[in-house]
Structure 1
Amino acid sequence: MSGKGAPTLTIDGSGLRVAVVAASWHTTVMDGLLAGSRRALSAAGVTDVREVRVPGTFELPVAAGRLARSGEYDAVVALGVVIRGGTPHFDYVCQAATLGLTDVAVQTGVPVGFGVLTCDDEAQALDRAGLEGSHEDKGAEAAEAAVATVVALRDL
């Protein structure tokens, strides 16, 4: 089970502006991821949050890039889910999203919380979506990581 060894982050994100960009596929999973990111941002004191929905996980990098380059946000949280099917499509979408979001963060200097689930089946996605009965809350973890990175970068 992933999640073992995860740090407990206590961060003060007061005054930060955060954009959350979320895919639309797999509604139940995405609703859980979004709810988790909202909870984590609220717990960190972040009140200025913009949510943007895109069709799918493949579209996350272009939206995250636009938000990061706008100069309006201290961090971006990217949420999506890709579930393996019977074709290589899974591999292409996962790689494109991962490399694209990494490129956004590196090129803009704006932290991007990576909340993209890459799962073999729907049960794995549901178990990571932060829903009642889930073992993990990847939406919350992505939001916490983005805010914690903003705070860490301030000290550099």
Structure 2
Amino acid sequence: MKIIQSGIINKTASIAIIISRFNQFINNNLLSGALDTLKRIGRIKEDNILQIYVPGAYEIPLIANYISKYKKYNAIIVIGTIIKGSTDHFKYIASDTYNNLSKISMKYFIPITLGILTTNNLEESIERAGLKMGNKGSEAALAALEMINVIETLKKNND
């Protein structure tokens, strides 16, 4: 039986991070967590990380699609915060964003990891951006690092 598992260190990987400016004070904490994980744990060089800011979470898939098309990056981390309001707008933005990111990832065989919070209120968002619920930006970075290495291992096995 063959088993493929991979670590999280990859000093040569290139990673794009797409960050929503909407709810920026929360997203900045998610970004800090992702960057710390990439550099300190994954040992990614700062020059191999591209940060792109977009107006909101809904705009993230367009940029992810554009980046993926050119196959310059080994993974994409997306960061944003969608907080439930008094209308159904929250559901549609979250659903469309997640579905489109999944389609892009599958189409281009690129890991797109989610550091997008979907919460009921501001307090939940703050908890998930570095307080008692951890930092979801850091978790997205860890997932990206591992997926890069899993894909590289699969490519080597198929050569």
Q: Which residue of 2 aligns with 1:78?
A: 78
Partner of 2:135: 137
Aligned to 1:45: 43
Letter in 2 for 1:33: L
Deviation at 1:10, TM superposition (A): 4.9
- Is contact 1:57-1:82 (8 Å) kept? yes
Q: Using the TM superposition, name which of 56-65 and 9-18 deviates more.
A: 9-18
Deviations 1:111-130 (A, max 9, x none): 10111100000000000012
- Residue by residue over 1:6-27, the C-alpha shift from the partner in whole angstroms, topping out at 9 and shown as x without a partner, is xxx9511210000000100112
TM-score, structure 1 normalization:
0.90
2: CA distance, partners of 1:64 / 1:90: 21
| Greater share of helix | 2
Work out which of the residue numbers 19, 22, 28 in structure 1 matches 2:19.
Answer: 22
State the SS of the aligned residue for 1:12.
coil
In structure 1, the gaps of 5 or more residues are: 1-8
Give runs of ≥4 in structure 1 deviating > 4 Å. Answer: none
From 126, 144, 147, give the equivalent of 1:146.
144
The answer as to whether partners of 1:12 and 1:44 remain within 8 angstroms in 2 is: yes
1:5 alignment partner in structure 2:
none
Give 1:58's aligned residue. Answer: 58
Q: How many residues align?
A: 146
Q: Name the CA distance, whole Å, in 1 between partners of 2:110 and 2:67.
A: 10
Amino acid in the other structure paired with 2:91 = D
Q: Structure 2 unaligned runs (5+)?
A: 1-5, 155-159
Aligned-pair Cα RMSD in Å: 1.2
Verify the 8 A CA contact 2:12 2:44 in the aligned structure 1.
Answer: yes
Partner Cα separation in structure 2 for residue 13 and residue 82 of structure 1: 31
